Structure 1
Amino acid sequence: MTININQTIVYDESIILKIKEMIEAGLNKLKSFVKGIKDDNLNFYNDLSDRFNQIALKLEELELWDELNYFLSISQFIEYIIHQNCLDSSFGHCDFAVELLKFFIEYIKVNFDYYLNKSYLSLEEFEAFQEEIQIKHYNYLKDFFREICEFSGDYSQEELYEIHTSLR
């Protein structure tokens, strides 16, 4: 991965702060779900899904494509876990959902700090961090599809293998 040093993008700090606030609010809501404070699970799921859509739109507005791709991937996993728990409260894996959101918060915090304050990290440190994030994300993908995702049986083993291969 190479970072273009001459890239001139102006980031609106107020939008970035709003994204951080929205992500933190989503994390707090997710933690309350994990603790069992559930009024109506499907309403919680729909509210969380709406929050995730708003965050995705803000990331798209800022043209933060890498951040958007990670967020879309992670939010799909979280929504799957929450939806499965809405259908069957014994499904579990809520801690994994919280861990995913914390992972994204760490990722976006370092990226925003780098974008807004170049002296925070050197280019080499930033690139090393990006490589670490790719590895962590890949491991989360593996864990999700091996341990959490329940397949409906609509696809053969070969078709699933082709799908997973195309995701790489």
Structure 2
Amino acid sequence: MALAMMLRSTCRNAAVPSLMLRNAARISSFAVRPALQKSLLVTPVQLLKQTTPALRPIVQNQIIRHSHSHVTLWKVEKLVALAILFGCIPLMTLLPGKAMEAVFAAVAVAHTHWGWESIVCDYVRAVVFGRFIAKAAIIATYMFSAGLLAGLLNFIYNDIGIVATVKKIWAIEGAK
């Protein structure tokens, strides 16, 4: 119950439960006497001076300045999405070949990588999860992208390829 009170109050920036938790062991070990009750009563001004926040503030200590513009990257991502939809997919069906499929695989993996990387950077922040987990998540994103590209290229050059696979899926007839 004390933990629940502390967690609820830290969301409201109240410091009273942290003071209660500090004194909980002392209070619970013997009966509460009127003199002890008077010593536990503290004015709000004293309480603010004595207590410290239970959680560290979630702010960055330094402003991170990037040398590149995020607007440019966003425009490139949108152009890549349009190139996949209106360029690579129609060309792959009209001009099937391993080279065209490899171009599609590279562009699709780049598009997927940028999406996952932005999700990881936005939601797995070092201030919340710590530097190790944030770096590990970014490394996992790069490993996932490299593995995806390697798997697609292996599928294109050592198997039937993407277009032939999609054609086989379309040729499947349902049970009659």
- TM-score class normalised by the smaller sequence: 0.3 to 0.5
Higher relative contact order (CA 8 A, sep 6+): 1
TM-score by length of 2: 0.38
Q: TM-score, with normalisation over the residues of structure 1?
A: 0.39
